[in-house]
Amino acid sequence: MYKEDTIAAISTPHGTGGIGIIRISGDRAFEIAEKIFVGKKNFKNIKSHTINYGKIVNPKDGLTLDEVLLSKMEKPNTFTRENIVEINCHGGLMVLKNILELCIKEGARLAEPGEFTKRAFLNGRIDLSQAEAVIDLINSKTDEGSRAAISQLEGKLSKRLKEARKKLIELLAHIEVTVDYPEYDVEEVTGNMIYNELDEIKKKLQDIIVGFDKGRIIREGIDAVIVGRPNVGKSSLLNELSGKNRAIVTDIPGTTRDIIEEYININGIPVRIIDTAGIRETQDVVEKIGVERTHKAINEADLIIMMIDAKRGINEEDNEIISKLVDKKLIILINKVDLVDENEIQKIEKQLEGKKYLRTSLKEDRGLKELGDALVDMFVSGEVSMNNEILLTNVRHKSLIDKALSSIDKAMSAQQEMMPVDLLAIDIRDAADYLGQITGESVSEDVMHEIFSRFCLGK
């Protein structure tokens, strides 16, 4: 799993920018940097963890590639626990490409996706759950998602899991000593002792997974689709929520012909909100394709936001749309309430009895806060905030904790059935193994490859 060579990659996003960073890690990192970096000091005399001005020069022909700031970091006090050099150059595509190619010519290898973080894990700098938190931090779309990833990166989840696993292993060792070496003066492990220990571990694991639904929503967000008849205000809602003129808004029905989407933050929840073509029977070929895509988006959505024009009321088309959404989480917005009187609104509300609905007027900025509150209520129990709690955000972690709990339940049931304690050890060992797969203490190479393949190059 670990290749003892030197790797290099561009660590800044692809594209043109003010600054670009090339990272080199491995035993030959300093040797390579010494060949290509020309500064005021000889590279060997540069102190660790300092930034130094100089030039990157091709040693073959003496051509200068760029003026740079170079960071030298000696192991083991680095991210990978290897020697690391970071070259901060100008962020032009050709500049970055040329310097990276020069590093490779001088002995480095192009890093695989996530290989720097993988080396940090393999060298004991972080555990596997912390490594996964790195990509969560990079991909986070809200402050809450970022804080959840930081909490995991700091090892708060790992600490809880390692404590539980340690207790399982200690219990396992106690059982095995009692069974295998009865002649030694060791306190005999009893069935009640095993049951009580397992019950305590089980409660701690259940405390960890109790907030998974909230954590998953904070990490992954939800897909929300705005639907309704043409010209009810769907595109205006998208523009209001995103703070941009993302969709064209006119009084002409059928303006939106295709799916338009935007990531927004609603009360701490990342929402991929999708504006769709108005649902109606049409002979327009392009609009017809848009309507078909709308139906596909509805099937894949976590939440449907259906809009009704208060001025036009509810007709058969609206009722037909509502009837197709019975199995979906649905919020109905009675829009344009500023254009009608209270009696008309109440007539619509009577028809929507038993359904979740809100009054909105995008023109007067009414109902958007209530929409955010309703969304949180539907997907998260309680407020979306980190406070001091540990939020479980990763589906892989949740699945493995569930398996560990299942094994603990089997062991507890076996004890109640008065089965021999050595048979209980099988399920206890399985539970410890499942928890070890989260932190990386017992994990296969295939699982590791799958995790780190999701990382970007240079991280």
What CATH number does the domain containing 98 carry?
3.30.1360.120
Residue 409 and residue 335 share a domain: no
18 residue type, one letter: G
The structure tokens listed for 268 are 């701490």
Residue 225 and residue 373 share a domain: yes
Torsion of CA 383, 384, 385, 388, to 10 degrees: 80
Query: Residue 157 belongs to what domain range?
Result: 131-211+392-440
pTM, rounded to two decimals: 0.69
The answer to whether the CB of 178 falls within 8 A of the CB of 193 is no
The answer to whether the CB of 452 falls within 8 A of the CB of 131 is yes
Residue 240 and residue 207 share a domain: no
* 225 contacts: CB under 8 Å, gap ≥ 6: 273, 274, 276, 294, 297, 298, 301, 303, 304, 305
Question: What b/e readout covers 151-188, taking b as 16+ CB neighbours within 10 angstroms?
Answer: bbbebbbbebbbebbebbbebbebbeebeeeeeeeeee
Residue 230 and residue 360 share a domain: yes
CATH number at residue 304: 3.40.50.300
Residue 358 and residue 239 share a domain: yes
SS3 of residue 441 by DSSP: coil
Strand partners, 263: 272
CATH number at residue 429: 1.20.120.430
φ/ψ (deg, to 5) at 40: -70, -35
Residue 118 and residue 80 share a domain: yes
Residue 356 and residue 229 share a domain: yes
Cα-to-chain-centroid distance, residue 443: 21
The structure tokens listed for 346 are 């109440």
Q: How far apart are the first and last CA of the chain?
A: 17
The answer as to whether 386 is a domain residue is: no
Tens-of-pLDDT digits for all 459 residues of the chain? 456 799 999 999 887 888 999 999 999 999 999 999 999 989 999 999 999 999 999 999 999 999 999 999 999 999 999 999 999 999 889 999 999 999 999 999 999 988 999 999 999 999 888 888 888 887 777 777 787 778 888 888 889 999 999 999 988 888 877 665 554 444 455 677 888 899 999 999 998 888 777 777 777 778 888 888 877 887 788 888 777 544 433 344 444 444 567 778 777 778 888 876 544 444 454 445 556 666 677 777 788 888 888 888 888 888 888 888 888 888 999 989 989 899 988 998 999 888 888 998 888 888 888 888 888 787 765 544 445 567 777 888 899 999 999 999 999 998 888 887 778 888 999 999 999 999 888 777 777 777 787 777 777
Residue carrying structure tokens 């020309």: 38
The answer as to whether 323 is a domain residue is: yes
Residue count (the chain): 459
